[in-house]
Structure 1
Amino acid sequence: MKDFKSILSDLDRRQFSPIYCLVGEKETFFVDLIAEKIEQSVLSEDEKAFNQSILYGKDVTIEDVIGQAKQYPMMAEHRVIIVREAQALLKDMDSLLSYIEQPQQNTVLVFCVKHKKMDGRNSVTKLLKKKDFYFETKPLYENQVSPWISETLSASGYSIAPKASEMLVEFLGNNLSLIYKELEKLRYVVPKGTRITPELIEENIGISKDFNSFELNKAIGIKDEVKAQQIAFYFAQNPKHHPLPLTVATLNSFFNKLLRYHALKDKSQQAASRALGVSPFFVKDYSFAAQKYSMKQASQAIALIREVDMKSKGVNSNQIPHGDLLKELLVNLMR
């Protein structure tokens, strides 16, 4: 089964498959990206009027789709049929078997299946996979998102500082659609060849370069209590973008990685980066923190963080404000 990079590469070389079944149960970004690429690149603007159809699964039948797919292009090499919301047709996909066996070679037929998963035991799914017509996208793990951001910007002639990338991940998580929209905004306002810095992120997207979870982890790691409490105050004033459960999860991840760093035999930058699943740029933060927190202290920190996590959910907290819970946690972590 091809990945999205090879599919996009084939499209750039005008090597088109007669069928693309694009499936995204939890992550739909690549489904939209590939479908849009096909919509924009296969036909010229003049050819689209007679040779490109956008259908919606809830409004058509499989027979309707096959009927359109079997038509020959008019004054063009290809005909493009894109079926959006194709998940509405899944129960009738068996009717597609004979067409998959012998597709119209001049047609590019695209099914966009979103928020559903095709049954791997189904004959249609098996045949689509066998013919290499099937692409299923899966969510990226959080430690994969920063490299994806760098690759995406690099392909457009930009680069990005590791901290700037982490700021986007912290603010937007692994929602690739949202991240891509913000990257598009940056590419619109800064010239090609620019290195995206935390300052540019703050100026154009509104994410603070000084008050974020990355900076909080860093301050805790070196036991800079003043900076950590300043960030905690900022979080308390901006709970929508910095909810306590998310901050607690980030702190828990930091100290879990610190425990793993302590246990490493090879603490070189590259080895630690691979073992921890972080950019080499951030390995130094764990190296510094390891000098401030022993393995026992890191374990105790995790216990404290889990206790606050329970309190943030109303267990034994007497409705203590989340800002106060975080400030108390920071004192207990660093003293």
Structure 2
Amino acid sequence: MVMEIWKQIKQKQIAPVYLLFGKESFLINETKQLLLDRILKEDEKDFNLSIYDLEETPIEVALEDAETFPFLGEKKVLFLQNPTFLTAEKIKEKVEHNLSRLEAYLKQPAPNSVLVLSAPYEKLDERKKITKELKRTAVTVEAKALNEQELKDWIRTRASYNKIEIAPDAVEQIITLVGNNLFMVTSEIDKLALYVTDTRMIDVDIVEKLVAKSLEQNIFALIDKVMDRKLDGALRIYYDLLKQNEEPIKILAVLAGHFRLIYQVKELARRGYGQMQIAGQLKANPYRVKLILKQIQKFKDEELAWIMKQLAEADYQMKTGKMDKSLLLEMFFLKLTT
């Protein structure tokens, strides 16, 4: 849906009113920037762009502005941020809004203005008359986290925007390393595009070489080595983390969180939950859950219980200073691999 609306905007099919809502701020910001670039020339932005925070300013003030003619241009753009009157969340209103004034405007929008309401809320209050009216008359963009297929489409589209191609396994690897943070995904693709100016193709080797692994991703790879009983590989990753100035106690905490998640995913999978259900239940990244579902087969319940006990003991010894922190983790990996 978002991509379709972007396509219309790029073709300069501009609506008089837009409603952007959801927690995925990257999509909201990209939509606003796209509208701005398609409607106003660079030298018009100083005069014909207005931004109102509706937590501080009554809606009728913004609407009066919308009904005035643009200065030295054909159109004006108004960004109306934080329309708290659209959400069911308990937010203390600082100003009163004349919503009947907005209802009247929606029936007859100013022909020379584009009104963009930006609501950073997960859900809108569908019971309210103004919400129903806005969703009926405005072009609505729901900025929610993309599912796996939508994210793959996004990556391919972004690669195409940079006039490059991306291999299917490279798409998978970007998701594995970066997750579903659109800002980071887009940043990585743009960086990779600069690297492949000659071949115009991103393959999985280039992704492995250039995309930085987060601490969580390094821990994931480390656990894979442990499960395959490859102590040398596990220690190599661990020493690299130490060279990156990661504290042993932080590494231990991430390890404990990951094994706890493995245990929870294993239990929910046993109850018949699917990937997305598990992610929703645990409020976890769906892509992380997908990878863990592959890992859980390698652990028996009693092994996970033993590992959690070892982690708790290591945590206690670290915090009480009974043994060198780095050595404690090395011993933990040795126990796991043997």
TM-score by length of 2: 0.68
CA RMSD after TM alignment: 4.6
1:330 to 330, 333, 336: 333
The residue type equivalent to 2:19 in the other structure is C
State the SS of the aligned residue for 1:108: strand
Structure 1 residue 109 displacement after superposition: 0.8
Change over 3 Å in CA distance of 1:312–1:83 after alignment to 2: farther
State the SS of the aligned residue for 2:97: helix
Contact 2:81 2:117 in 1 (8 A): yes
> Take 2:139 and 2:127, find their aligned partners in 1: how far apart are those partners?
16
> Take 2:45 and 2:112, find their aligned partners in 1: how far apart are those partners?
14
Structure 1 residue 301 displacement after superposition: 3.6
Unpaired segments of 5 or more residues in structure 2?
85-92, 280-285
> Take 2:195 and 2:332, find their aligned partners in 1: how far apart are those partners?
40
Structure 1 residue 226 displacement after superposition: 1.7
Change over 3 Å in CA distance of 1:122–1:317 after alignment to 2: same
User: How many percent of aligned residue pairs carry the same amino acid?
Assistant: 21
Structure 1 residue 34 displacement after superposition: 0.6
State the SS of the aligned residue for 2:117: strand
The residue type equivalent to 1:4 in the other structure is V
Paired residues, number: 311
> Take 1:318 and 1:118, find their aligned partners in 2: how far apart are those partners?
49
Unpaired segments of 5 or more residues in structure 1?
265-270
Q: Residue 244 in 1 paired to residue 242 in 2? A: no
Matched with 2:234 is: 228
2:6 to 5, 8, 18: 8
1:170-209 to structure 2, matched below 5 A, reads 174-191=180-197, 193-195=200-202, 197=204, 199=206, 202-203=209-210, 206-207=212-213
The residue type equivalent to 1:177 in the other structure is F
Contact 1:93 1:124 in 2 (8 A): no
Matched with 2:87 is: none
Matched with 1:267 is: none
> Take 1:71 and 1:17, find their aligned partners in 2: how far apart are those partners?
18
State the SS of the aligned residue for 2:24: coil
Matched with 1:151 is: 156
Structure 1 residue 77 displacement after superposition: 5.3
Contact 1:228 1:330 in 2 (8 A): yes
Q: Residue 168 in 1 paired to residue 178 in 2? A: yes
1:65 to 31, 53, 62: 62
State the SS of the aligned residue for 1:135: strand
